[in-house]
Amino acid sequence: MASYFDVHPDNPQPRAISQVVDVVRSGGVIAYPTDSCFALGCQLDNRDGIDRIRAIRHLDERHHFTLVCRDFAQLGQFALVSNTVFRTVKAATPGPYTFILPATKDVPRRMMHPKKRTIGVRIPAHVVAQALLSELGEPMLSSTLLLPESEEPLTQGWEIKQRLDHVLDAVLDSADCGSEPTTVIDLSGDEPEILRRGAGDPTRFE
């Protein structure tokens, strides 16, 4: 059964955030709000957590997981960023964008695209997500909470708790969350490629 934490959207209670982080650090899988929509998350080196997220979403090994980062300093530890890419990403973050970039040696192979050796990264503009990442002290491995039989992501914490109670360890809710997945931009090649049009304005990359 998943623990349920309802926090203030602008001033999330530190005790609740700390308890959710304890769940993540102990190997748990959580659902948490972002500026795009709810996400599933676990610790970076949580092999079982990765498998559980794949099972929840029916994902294959080609799926790009996302490293949700607190800031650009964290992002730079796990993704190779040229000067040009730096300016591009910096101008769009924090915000509802996921960027596909070449992974550094610090990224475990199972988290990369098996052929391209790339990783998805993002910096959310959401108070609760930022509080969670600050307390955790490292990026969180994440995937949009979009169930395989659904066309739209789940946007209500109580519904997530109800439907996924048996496969999650915690649900962090703030009643303040986006309802559309991120815009995904592949910056691993010579030119930006828009892989998914979502909450972020893609026109700057066209």
Q: In the prediction, which pLDDT does 114 show?
A: 65
Mean pLDDT of all residues in 109-120: 77
Tell me the two tokens of residue 160.
């997530």
Could you tell me if residue 137 is left (phi over 0), alpha (psi between -120 and 50 degrees) or otherwise beta?
A: left
Q: Is residue 204 part of a domain?
A: no
Q: Is residue 83 part of a domain?
A: yes
Residues ≥6 apart with Cβ < 8 Å to 194: 183, 184, 185, 186, 202, 205, 206
In the DSSP assignment, the letter for residue 111 is G
Find the DSSP H helices in the chain.
14-25, 47-57, 72-78, 83-92, 127-136, 157-164
Average model confidence (pLDDT) for the chain?
Answer: 92
Residues ≥6 apart with Cβ < 8 Å to 150: none
Q: At 8, which CATH number?
A: 3.90.870.10
pLDDT-derived band at 110 (thresholds 50, 70, 90) equals low
Can you tell me whether residue 96 is helix, strand or coil? coil
Residue 32 burial by Cβ neighbours in a 10 Å radius (0-12, 13-18, 19+): buried
pLDDT in tens, 122-164: 999 999 999 999 999 999 999 999 898 888 888 899 999 999 9
Q: In the prediction, which pLDDT does 33 show?
A: 96
Q: Is residue 68 part of a domain?
A: yes
Count CB-CB contacts under 10 A for residue 97: 27
Domain that holds residue 175: 3-199
Count CB-CB contacts under 10 A for residue 111: 19
Tell me the two tokens of residue 5.
């934490």
Q: Is residue 53 part of a domain?
A: yes
pLDDT in tens, 46-88: 999 999 999 999 988 777 789 999 999 999 899 999 999 999 9
Q: What are phi and psi of 182, to 5 degrees?
A: -65, 155
Q: Is residue 205 part of a domain?
A: no
pLDDT in tens, 33-55: 999 999 999 999 899 999 999 99
- Nearest in space to 81 (alpha carbons), one of 66, 103, 62, 64: 103
- Nearest in space to 57 (alpha carbons), one of 33, 32, 39: 39
Q: Is residue 118 part of a domain?
A: yes
Q: What percent of the chain has pLDDT over 70?
A: 98
Q: How many domains does the chain have?
A: 1
Q: Is residue 138 part of a domain?
A: yes
Q: What percent of the chain has pLDDT over 90?
A: 72
Q: Is residue 123 part of a domain?
A: yes
